[in-house]
Amino acid sequence: MQFREKEFNRRTKNSQLNLALTKIERIKQVYGEYQKTIVHFHTPASYDFKFVSDKKYLRSNANSRSYASFELSEVIQVARDYGLFNLPKITDEYLNDMVTKNPLFDNQKELITYLLIAMKLINNSIKLAVITDHNTVDGYERLKDAINILRSNYQKGSSMPKVIFGVEISCGDSLHVVGITDDSSTSRELVTEFLTENVLSVSAGTYLTSWEVIEWFRKQGFISYVAHINTSNVFKSDYGSGAYKKRLLSSKNMRLVGVSKLDKKDDLLKKLSDRGLNKPIVFLDEDSHCLEDLATKTFWVKGQELNFNMLRNAIEDSDISIRFDKPNLPAVFVKSVSINGDGFLGKQNSVFSVSFSTALNCIIGGRGTGKSTLLDCVSFVLSQHVRDLGQLKNICKQGQISLSISVDGKVYYLIFNPALTGVHEEAFLRGYLHGSEHQWDYLDHVEKRFNSEEIAKATRGKIQIFSFHDDSIYEITDKAKFLNYVFRSSYSVNELVKTASDRRITDFIESQLNLTSMKIPELSNQVQHLLNFTYKWSRWWSCE
């Protein structure tokens, strides 16, 4: 939905409005969100990295080509085709300077390749990327540095992927094990020491069996699993001894498994179930070795902090924290509320603020702690609707109310200012409707009647709606259209809770059904059936 707007002013660092909106923008989100994730991809540190697979970059009659065979000029051409040199700071001079000063990269070819990998992760909105080179961890720091190099080439505030420390180990039983750890120096040193002691070469891997490698990582508190196990021979009857299979295919070692394709997941789970392994957690292995395949096998992991612990916690709660289909956010949802005043919620010299989740929100507290007041404030700013004069006074007493709202993926900031400075208590309604300068006008009739439409009209005049883009602050001029779109029902959740125990609940249900555009002949009969059921339910509730 598009709303008319006008440029309010430039977003200068110290302007009062910018500071106020920035405070709302920075309210800490204390809930988890689904993060686009890839697990198991390779970089030039892997001996079998292919770089690109498009035929125009291959030599005649070749189906693939090793990374080592590419000349610098060819790598530069690929970079030009991918748009790397369209970024403002990426020039030949800059790249030469980076190679000279940066000890991580041996040459410009290597630097450009890691920059291309980083760019594709960024452009595909990858939030969590678990790097797993074959039998080495040499690519980890290089990729992290490449992302940092590109950071300044993207718009301020652009999301950068978080790289998680991992490795893919080729085991003595021909299976591959992915190990994932946190990025502390202690953990990385443990893994590096393990690889030094047990890996014969980056191409040969280790003589240890897969279950030995899995159990070593698990013993350290890390994540480990058999990668793309659906492509292995482990389920064949002639593969390995009975004792070997019993140890490998145990509930602990098969708690997490990797699958090469999503459409193979159900078949894999059935094979594991046939062996008494019920409901293991599944990761989608990307196993990409070239730019074309990078960021093509993604899934979503729910969490707050982008780190190893987020991944580990998601495994513990996989039913709701791991998804293979893209989660759809609501078209409209409240991100946060901030109340600045000396009322019940807003304390003197202390702003009350809280963030909301896109999923379930629970407001918990004892009687009189402000649960209803918080809901009333949010509902009032969005609907401009109050039950009575007492509720309006209580909301205004809280002070300035600010909301951040996501509407169709764009964030807007709503600021409600009661503007009651100088208004006397006995003239509250007149002052609210007409301002302090007119609070003593219309003495005989205004204060004695409560007109919801007049309240709503005055309230809309006290609300400003802003958005950020192009380094400027814009004000929405089409407020009525915006407010009608974000709050389609004038019945607040809090009011619904309060009326759920009597017949008024039927009025709410009936009003919502009347809003539907469905043309179904039997709808009226279904509505009557629903209302009869609800009436019986409300009578039962009242008797309890």
Residue that has been written with the tokens 């030949």 in this structure: 92
In whole angstroms, what is the distance from residue 110 CA to residue 129 CA? 20
Do 505 and 534 meet the contact criterion of CB atoms below 8 Å apart?
yes
Q: Is 90 exceeded by the pLDDT of residue 507? A: no
For residues 335-370, one letter each, b for 16 or more C-beta atoms within 10 angstroms of the residue's C-beta and e for the rest, the string is bbbbbbbebbbbeeeebbbbbbebeeeeeeeeeeeb
Q: Into how many domains does the chain fold?
A: 3
Tokens matching residue 63: 């189906």
Is 513 part of a structural domain of the chain? Answer: yes
CA Rg value for the chain: 30
Structural domain containing residue 527: 500-543
pTM above 0.85, yes or no: no
Asked if residue 484 and residue 519 are part of one domain, the reply reads no
Contacts of 461 (CB under 8 A, 6+ apart): none
Asked if residue 234 and residue 114 are part of one domain, the reply reads yes
Indicate the burial class of 174 (C-beta count within 10 angstroms; 0-12, 13-18, 19 or more).
middle
Task: Quick: pLDDT tens for 47-105.
Answer: 999 999 999 999 877 888 999 999 999 999 999 999 999 998 999 999 999 999 999 99
Which of 303, 337, 370 terminates a domain? The answer is 303
Selected residue with higher pLDDT from 436 and 340: 340
Which of 449, 469, 491 terminates a domain? The answer is 491
Q: Is 80 exceeded by the pLDDT of residue 27? A: no
Asked if residue 39 and residue 134 are part of one domain, the reply reads yes
Asked if residue 290 and residue 396 are part of one domain, the reply reads no
- The CATH number linked to 247 is 3.20.20
Is 92 part of a structural domain of the chain? Answer: yes
- The CATH number linked to 458 is 3.40.50
Beta strand spans in 184-331 (E): 199-201, 205-206, 223-226, 256-259, 281-288, 299-303, 322-323
Task: Quick: pLDDT tens for 428-486.
Answer: 888 888 777 776 766 655 556 778 898 999 999 999 999 887 778 889 999 989 998 88
Contacts of 453 (CB under 8 A, 6+ apart): none
Task: Quick: pLDDT tens for 268-315.
Answer: 999 999 999 988 999 999 999 999 999 999 999 999 889 999 999 999
Is 339 part of a structural domain of the chain? Answer: yes
Q: Is 60 exceeded by the pLDDT of residue 490? A: no
Is 299 part of a structural domain of the chain? Answer: yes
| SS3 label, residue 347 | strand
Task: Quick: pLDDT tens for 1-25.
Answer: 788 888 776 666 667 777 777 777 7
Is 321 part of a structural domain of the chain? Answer: no
Residues of the chain with pLDDT > 70: what percent?
83
What single-letter DSSP state applies at residue 483?
Answer: H
Distance of CA 355 to the CA centre of its chain: 14
In whole angstroms, what is the distance from residue 166 CA to residue 18 CA? 41
CA distances from 502 to 394, 528, 542 (A): 25, 17, 7
What single-letter DSSP state applies at residue 215?
Answer: H
Is 512 part of a structural domain of the chain? Answer: yes
Is 362 part of a structural domain of the chain? Answer: yes
Do 72 and 109 meet the contact criterion of CB atoms below 8 Å apart?
yes
